[in-house]
Amino acid sequence: MTDSDEIKKIADQLAKKPILLSIGLMSGTSMDGIDVALLKTDGVGKAELLATREYSYEAPFRSRLAESLELAKSVGKDRKLPAALVELESEITLRHAKAVKQFLADANLASQNLDVIGFHGQTVLHRPDKGFTVQLGDGQLLADKTGIACIYDMRSNDMAYGGQGAPLVPVFHQALAAGLDEPYKSKLPIAFVNIGGISNISYIGTNGELIAFDTGPGNALIDQWVQTEGGIPFDQGGAIAAEGGVIQQIAQTYLAESFFEQTIPKSLDRNDFKPPASGSASLEDGARTLAHISAVAIIKACDHLPEAPKLWIICGGGRKNPAIMDDLKKLASKENGAKVVPAEEVGLNGDSMEAEAWAYLAVLSLKKLPLTFPMTTGCKVPVSGGKLALPKSK
């Protein structure tokens, strides 16, 4: 039996299981660490979160990741990485393997208990206009080190079908919306917003239609600003922004960018927006202004939706910034009296949701079910995706 035959055989066996235990791994555009989530799911509607952990990156490694964004600009569609990125890819993968092993030890689970890992890797370049994206992460190495089947590279197939390759989380948000308790379940249309380095929205309409796209900068500009101006990794709890005021001239310059007028679906690279020039504002005013921009950009998403959401569910690190949340609440209420809540208020985990999504997407991939749709990424038809790596010991 050839290796490809063996992979197909095991993939078919996994796909036939009615319920799977899947681990999702996410290292997002904020570059602050690895989120791990364990999901029990059928890949259709059932998605039960069993455990979650976060493993933070230390400051020097975060700096290396930030520096890799410049190196990645030289990468072309053939994805040929310079030596420094090859080395970094291996290190990122080994860090993910270590996180999985620690997670399993904490949960008192053996690798044999798990069916699959959904591995996102670290995005260092996203060029949908040129039809490619680069996530650093070696799926085969992760499978070998953990002893667990691994689904990776989930964006490429979408792009091969004309999609933006992002966002991929909306199909999971759709499943979560269906499982909400009352009174939230009946508040359609609902928007899930993840405020990471970049913000993105998943819109579930009155008739169940699913629309998704990146809305604009999330935390990335704030992080870059406080790092440059204050030598601080990020604005923890929005404490810096709380001391500042909005500089409207800066805000309006950002919000006049052509990205906001582009038709959907659309997606961003972390470097598509740059922080304000050094010294153009005080540390506090800059942080507050950038928080305001993040909030306004999210609400501007309504310009591209058939109807303004009645309920906004906010996840990701940005929900912990009171300046962003206060602006969102005021703007959404002014729009149509809508309610803005952190994910926890509706019984969800706002920190682990993207990791959960990757666990869910891995199961969809095994079952060859669609990960993306024309109105989430712009792909020509609904498509599945991902590559399967089996540990060499299996």
- Give the least confident one: 89-93, 125-129, 221-225, 248-252: 125-129
Residue given tokens 């379940």 in the structure block:
185
Residue given tokens 């704030």 in the structure block:
222
Q: What is residue 1's predicted lDDT score, i.e. its pLDDT?
A: 45
Residue 7, pLDDT > 80, answer: no
pTM value is 0.91
Domains 3-164+385-389 and 182-346 agree in fold: yes
Q: How confident is the model at residue 269 (pLDDT cuts 50, 70, 90)?
A: confident
Q: What is residue 227's predicted lDDT score, i.e. its pLDDT?
A: 94
Q: So where are the chain's domains?
A: 3-164+385-389, 182-346
- E strands along 100-246, which residues? 116-127, 132-136, 150-152, 190-195, 198-204, 210-217
Q: How confident is the model at residue 393 (pLDDT cuts 50, 70, 90)?
A: low
Q: What is residue 112's predicted lDDT score, i.e. its pLDDT?
A: 93
Among the four given CATH numbers 3.40.50.620, 3.30.420.40, 1.10.3470.10, 3.90.550.10, the one describing domain 182-346: 3.30.420.40
Q: How far is CA 388 from CA 1, 85, 149, 150, in A?
A: 17, 22, 7, 6
Q: How confident is the model at residue 2 (pLDDT cuts 50, 70, 90)?
A: low
Instruction: List, for residues 328-339, the tens digit of each pLDDT value.
Output: 999 999 988 999
* Chain center to CA of 373: 17
| Length in residues, the chain | 394
Q: What is residue 291's predicted lDDT score, i.e. its pLDDT?
A: 98
Architecture in CATH of 3-164+385-389? 2-Layer Sandwich (3.30)
Rounded to whole angstroms, how far apart are CA atoms 305 and 38? 33
Residue 138, pLDDT > 70, answer: yes
Q: What is residue 394's predicted lDDT score, i.e. its pLDDT?
A: 47
Contact 125, 69 (CB under 8 A): yes
Any idea what DSSP says for residue 348?
-
Q: What is the average pLDDT across 287-293?
A: 98
Rounded to whole angstroms, how far apart are CA atoms 26 and 33? 8
Residue 204, pLDDT > 90, answer: yes
DSSP 57-90: PPHHHHHHHHHHHHHHTT--TT----HHHHHHHH
Instruction: List, for residues 302-341, the tens digit of each pLDDT value.
Output: 999 999 999 999 999 999 999 999 999 999 999 889 999 9
Bridging pattern class, strands 132-136 and 116-127? antiparallel
Which sign does the torsion angle of CA 247, 253, 259, 264 carry? positive
Instruction: List, for residues 85-122, the tens digit of each pLDDT value.
Output: 999 999 999 999 999 999 999 999 999 999 999 999 99
* Average model confidence (pLDDT) across the chain: 94
Tokens of 137: 């992460």
Phi, psi of 331 (to 5 degrees): -70, -40
